[in-house]
Structure 1
């Protein structure tokens, strides 16, 4: 992992630019470099993973006049390098960076269709006076561009770097969207004039400031459903893709470890590593809490002992939550959607003693359908039947899962409206701005991008809720100068599972059918088929502690209230009603607190 800063049409002083680059030093503590030309300034912080020598120094010049700043990994770079060598290209380093810049010279934007990996790459071409931005197809690595009032266009890995260069303003519509849905659709961000390069997107910025957008990746939402393959063949292909994905993510010149939760996803990664690519010493890391109901250490121990893994358990308690709150807010750049980010930050800080690369099971639920909400898709036939038989809906009692089914049927099968409206948080009634406008905009977005939940709910999640999870892992691992890798977010695996019929992934009784059957070759039955626990903090207990009273009370201060985000009377009533329930702590106090802490840390001068 590395930190990128490029300033087009530079007007900021070099002193400010170096300060901005230094604010991302944690992303690349091993080396730093910059180049300055008449119309751009480019700086880079390097975390050395492949070819630890100075040959990997960046910014790197490929062919004359072409420079690259590359964050992440292209895992199949050796195969592509061989292809380029057959075309007459020579290489000075053993890095994927040099392969990318020369592949771009050979094939242009089409080079990125060949890559397997996670990356955010900036290519500056002085020959055409253009800057090209590329982001990997799954959106694992971050990349942003900021259009400043003075005409500068600034490209960054982390928005915090902008604080050294320009005043920042809150984009309240996007803050409301985060509070309402816990994600953002499109490329806008909580910071005005700051845009994210979307997964699989190529942005071209000309010297004169003109910005154009294209996609080099295939659209994950438009793949044909595979209906002719036999299940055994699908099972074998899926397992081979998982093994290939993990094999690629073991390519490194530094030590590699594993975030081991004890759930089926990370446990399967551990099992495949030690079965197919046996490591004499493999370190794994997990978080535990003093409260037993959140503890999965029993299953972590089973996996570690079975596969000869050196396991480290890191306890995370209330004191840690308080100590890491401001640090994590600074590193996250945006409001922290998931409070367990703080625990991941402590884990990676500890893990840095042993490893520089950390694998995680992130993305498996969105790829193989592991969330309980996906079960409703297994009821489509019943829904279609009841829509054809008038009056049958009335026979369903409005209780539990039948209530959700009844709601869907009453909407005549309109999954989009149901899932979008049901996914709103309880803050919707407190927002001062009309939440209906945000609902309508999201409905329009999923229509435009062919992400209707009735056919594409996992893909909808891959474009929305998965992105903050990947950002969380990137920011928290980078805070400790660790490169986080996510095998289940390999674009080949995502595109394959997206193309499969639902019956191979879920039933009314079972989630993650395909993944669990693969895991049964490697892991105990009780581990695979136990109830899903998730990764939750005991927020209810901690938010009711006197130790956090002063922090929560910033929500009573005019500095927050004057932003007019929520109804003040409703908020005051909730804050005065103690003890807080888990629902209040997680879904009202935490989201508002994270917004205010973010504003004071990132936005405020």
Structure 2
């Protein structure tokens, strides 16, 4: 895992040294993503930077950016190409390549094949920029099929810039962060924004399965889709060998990996196959709040004991949560979707003492129909669109002065016309809700200088799960996953009712040593006063404090939004 950045000075108004200074600042704002090596390459009016966390070929031969002798091609790459050895032997067998890294494989492929051809061949998690300075004279920005890695860009009359994290744009000359008012209503309902826009004005993101082609000659760019999940009746069936092979590929590298072990079915299966495929004892990590009500140590202990892993149980407190909340929001570049993002950061910090790589069970619920909402009958499209909402849109309409835009969500939903109802919601989740769950995996991991990998989001696994025909039965959702798990783990672990990693946010909002100080600041906060109806906010606070209603969800959303505003905008 690494951080990438680049800057194109359209008007040639600054020197190469000044341009490189900008890119160096961008990289330093993301130094937590790498730290093992840094590099900058420049040609004409373009500078491209990279900070490296070395995992595959940890020697200096894998340092980036990659380029040929004349800088005709420059690659800055973040992520992992899990099938790179196969591609190297198949397409580059007679090519002399000085590094054993997947970056070197990707570089040689991009030199020889079209971007569409390369993206069809590679499997993994990635975000990269590839500059071609001769003939085509273009820049490519590309993202993996499910947005496991983040990539953002800015296009102004003066410059075009891109980076792995939004905070890197602080380094741009004359640029100030501004709030994107047009998506604020959507954020309040869903805690995330879909489509190309972000909560920042004029900052855009590359989305799942997309690449951007920027023409250096005429200063135009076009985003194109190269992959979209579809129904394939010929898709392979999900099996033990499919997930085992994925875990095997995700163990790629010169670093021994660990596993985020929640005690749920998905992470338990990942840990099972990771331990089977590892030559040494696996490190597993679980985290929970002080006291038994808010942790799942009982289940993670069962798995760790059965697999005989080196298991680490991490305890955190309310005080840890409150103190770290602003820091985690800074690293996310946006407000929290889930409160458990904070303990995930604490876990990653602990795990970094033992490894640079963590495997997770993320993505299985969306791909294998693991949420109850997939099976709730409704023919109303709006019900389906609001199915992954955190807060009631009617309530948000009462407290928010603006409108709630659903334009980009409706666009995504149009791609589900031929799907059955369960598949509609699963597809919708994969392209709306999941990318922001993955974003926290990337960014809180990188904040701790650790790479999080997701075996359930390997293309063969996703296509088998999404096209599965045995979604519902005596096991409920995730039938195929649970059938495999029952071969190895007890029924009370596999078939228990799904419960997410929750926290007592409702209680903490009434606690002077918890989130109450943040809550009491809300009605005087400049962002809240500008965009929200203060009387309604006061009502929500009063109802919650006097326990007349549990308004913790919307109040926590507002608190995270106000902290984000203080960190980035104010």
Query: Same-fold call, TM > 0.5?
Result: yes
SS in 2 for 1:132: strand
Q: From the superposition, tell whether residues 17 and 201 of structure 1 become closer, same or farther in structure 2 (CA, over 3 Å).
A: same
> Matches of 2:163 and 2:102 in 1, distance apart?
20
Deviates more, 1:450-459 or 1:59-68: 450-459
Please give the residue correspondences for 1:592-603 in structure 2 after superposition, counting only pairs within 5 Å: 592-603=558-569
Cross-structure match for 2:385 = 420
Which of the residues 162, 167, 188 maps onto 2:169?
A: 162
Q: Deviations over 1:479-532 (max 9, x none)?
A: 01100000011122112222223xx01248612111100111221221101111
Q: In structure 2, how many angstroms separate the alpha carbons of the residues matched to 1:441 and 1:215?
A: 15
Work out the CA distance in 2 between the residues paired with 1:536 and 1:198: 28
The Cα of 1:451 is off from its aligned counterpart by 8.4
Question: Contact 1:556–1:572 at 8 Å: present in 2 too?
Answer: yes
State which of 516, 520, 540 in structure 2 corresponds to 1:549.
516
Contact 1:91 1:98 in 2 (8 A): yes
Cα pair 2:194 2:408 within 8 Å, conserved: no
**Structure 1 contact 2–27 (Cα < 8 Å) conserved:** yes
Q: 1-side partners of 2:388 and 2:105: how far apart?
A: 43
State the 1:444 CA deviation: 4.5
Structure 1 partner of 2:9: 9
Distance 1:210 1:461, change over 3 A: same
CA deviation string 1:329-388 (max 9, x = no partner): 110001111111111011101111111000111001001111121232xxxxxxxxxxxx
Give, in whole Å, the separation in 2 of the partners of 1:85 and 1:522: 41
CA apart distance, 1:550: 2.3
Instruction: Give the match for residue 296 of structure 2.
Output: 296
Q: Quote the offset at 1:18 in angstroms.
A: 2.0
Q: Does 1:199 align with 2:200?
A: no
Task: Name the Cα RMSD after superposition.
Answer: 2.1
Work out whether residues 143 and 151 of structure 2, in 8 Å CA contact, stay in contact via their aligned partners in 1.
yes
| Matched residue, 2:132 | 125
Residue 222 of structure 2 corresponds to 212
- In 2, distance between residues paired with 1:469 and 1:181? 12
CA distance in 2, matches of 1:433, 1:244: 51
| In 2, Cα distance between equivalents of 1:420 and 1:157 | 29
Instruction: Show CA shifts across 1:188-216 (max 9, x none).
Output: 11111111111111111121421012222
Q: Secondary structure at the match of 2:114?
A: helix
CA–CA distance in 1 between the matches of 2:492 and 2:305? 16
Aligned to 2:264: 263
1:394 maps to none
Q: Measure, in 2, the Cα distance between the counterparts of 1:323 and 1:213.
A: 40
2:98 counterpart (87, 92, 111): 92
Alpha-carbon shift at residue 136 of structure 1 (Å): 0.6
Return the alpha-carbon distance in structure 2 between the equivalents of residues 587 and 256 of structure 1.
35
1:153 aligns with 2:154: no
**Which residue number in structure 1 is paired with residue 86 of structure 2?**
79
2:488 is aligned with 1:488: no
The structural deviation recorded for 1:440 is 5.9
Q: Aligned partners of 1:577, 1:487: CA distance in 2, in Å?
A: 43
How do 1:421-460 and structure 2 match up within 5 A? 421=386, 423-424=388-389, 425-426=391-392, 427-433=395-401, 435=403, 438-439=405-406, 442-447=409-414, 450=417, 454=421, 455-460=423-428
Which one of the candidate residues 458, 467, 472 is aligned to 2:440? 472
Structure-1 separation of matches of 2:199 and 2:420: 25
1:57-80 per-position Cα deviation (integer Å, ceiling 9, x unaligned): 111114751110000000111111
Is the 1:50–1:95 Cα contact (8 Å) retained in structure 2?
yes
Question: Contact 1:367–1:497 (CA<8 Å) still a contact in 2?
Answer: yes
Which deviations, in whole Å up to 9, do the C-alpha atoms of 1:171-200 show, x marking residues without a partner?
Answer: 122222121123323111111111111111
Which residue of 30, 36, 53 corresponds with 1:47?
Answer: 53
Equivalent-residue separation in structure 2 for 1:580 and 1:30 (angstroms): 52
Q: Which has the higher helix share?
A: 1
Residue 478 of structure 2 corresponds to which residue in structure 1?
A: 512
| 1:144 lines up with 2:111 in the alignment | no
Q: How much does 1:293 deviate? A: 2.2
Q: Name the CA shift for 1:371/1:475 in 2 (closer, same or farther; >3 Å).
A: same
Per-residue Cα deviation, 1:289-313 (whole angstroms, up to 9, x for no partner): 1242222111111111111101111
Inter-partner Cα distance in structure 1 for 2:482 and 2:457: 17
Query: 5+ residue gaps in structure 1?
Result: 377-404
Q: Which moved more, 1:549-558 or 1:43-52?
A: 549-558
> Quick check: 1:182–1:465 contact (8 Å CA) kept in 2?
no
